[in-house]
Structure 1
Amino acid sequence: MHPPTDTAESELIDRCKQGSLKHQEMLYKHFYGFAMGIARRYCFNPDDVMEVVNDGFIKIFKTVHSYDTGKPFKAWLRTIIVNTAIDRRRKELKHQLNIELDNAAPVKAGTYIIETINARDIIKLMDNLPAIQRTIFNLYEVDGYSHDEIAGMLNIPASSSRVYLTRAKEKLRKLIVAAP
């Protein structure tokens, strides 16, 4: 199957709005890799990634009738997948010990650049971050959310978001320096 063109993609979305299961399957297959890439940034294990992708597509198919065709579909889909991953993360946070970080001192960060590291290396190194740090790093640095927005999504203070981001960056720096 050839990837749909913009016109074919638009028709695919219209058919999904009409409830066509065949076209939902086609849309799923077409955007599966894109959704997996997004979910992978927020989830630690492959089962969680698959759950986020599948839950995200269920939400997409239930709400596709509300999709504004004047806006890019990929951006709408991305938002749903990110929010699905955040919802899952929020549920996990309820079961973890959360320490109030309002009074914690931020970790001082050095200013240096490693020119030999690429995005794939950073993604591998991110697997070593605690879940909350990884989530906040992705939301802030990759997806461009503000600390206030992240705080609202995760039900934590904005100051905690800043501290977790600082700690994530510091841990990544240490991992980069230690990498062979």
Structure 2
Amino acid sequence: MKPTAEQDLDAILAGCRQQHRRSQQALYRLFYAYGMSIAIRYVGNERDAVTVLNDGFLKVFRYIRRFDTTKDFKPWFRQIVVNVAINHIKRQEQYKKEVSMEEGQTISAREEILSRISYQELMALVQSLSVAYRTVFNLYVIDGYRHEEIAGMLGISASTSKSNLARAREKLRVMIQQQMQTKYA
């Protein structure tokens, strides 16, 4: 009987707990693409994303004994990469607190706009947002955090988080409209 992917992962994680290099390399290969997709959403460029991902893996290997083996590994890994990305942004001093603003776009308008654009196109536009807007957008929209949680993670107020999200959405709306005009002109 062939072992399942879950059994393979369990064996790899057991090896990582014992600090076996081959197990660490196997885990790195197994989760590299997933980790990069998370890291690049936050830091916006491949060079910094690789740094974030490598730092994330170092934390995984350092704290692997704290991982609860009764739970799924992927969310634990994701949380580490997100936290490392946020800390990277803070260290780079690119993160700027931005002032509060009311959200002005209706849900139906958002849905209509988003139905015309692919996920890849949307992610490319998200990458062009400022670090503050991109970070809050990713945490709230993509990763599902609440504004209070985002505020605690980033050291900002919940109202600033809401404002940054509203501004990110507005900028995305404008960029999407411009892209649609160019596409269908």
Given the two structures, how large is their TM-score scaled by the length of structure 2?
0.88
Match of 1:54 in 2: 54
Please give the secondary structure, in 1, of the residue aligned with 2:80.
helix
Q: Percent identity?
A: 38
**Corresponding residue number in structure 2 for 1:133:** 133
Match of 1:106 among 97, 102, 107: 102
**Residue pairs, 1:119-158, within 5 angstroms:** 119-158=119-158
Cα deviations by residue, 1:89-134 (Å, 9 ceiling, x for unpaired): 22234x66545x2xx4325224411222121110011122111100
The one-letter amino acid paired with 2:19 is: G
Quote the Cα distance in structure 2 between the aligned partners of 1:97 and 1:60.
Answer: 29
Indicate conservation of the 8 Å contact 2:97/2:132, yes or no. no
Higher helix share: 2
Q: CA deviation at 1:170?
A: 0.4
Aligned counterpart, 1:36:
36
Structure 1 residues 98 and 10, CA, compared in 2 at 3 Å: closer, same or farther? same
SS at 2:92's partner residue? helix
* Other-structure match for 2:174: 174
CA distance in 1, matches of 2:96, 2:170: 22
The separation in 2 between residues aligned to 1:151 and 1:90, in whole angstroms, is 13
Equivalent-residue separation in structure 2 for 1:174 and 1:44 (angstroms): 20
Any runs of at least 4 consecutive aligned residues in structure 1 with deviations exceeding 6 A, and if so which? none
User: What corresponds to 2:161 in structure 1?
Assistant: 161
Which ranges of structure 2 fall in alignment gaps of 5 or more residues?
Answer: none
- Distance in 2 (CA, whole Å) between partners of 1:97 and 1:117 is 29
Could you tell me how far apart the structure 2 residues matched to 1:50 and 1:105 are? Answer: 34
Q: Report the residue type matching 1:83 in the other structure.
A: N
Structure 1 partner of 2:25: 25
RMSD: 1.7
Number of residue pairs aligned between Structure 1 and Structure 2: 174
State the alpha-carbon separation in 2 of the partners of residues 160 and 86 from structure 1. 16
Matched, 1:64 2:64: yes
Amino acid at match of 2:72: P
Q: Structure 1 unaligned runs (5+)?
A: none
Deviation, structure 1 residue 5: 1.1
Aligned partners of 1:97, 1:84: CA distance in 2, in Å? Answer: 18
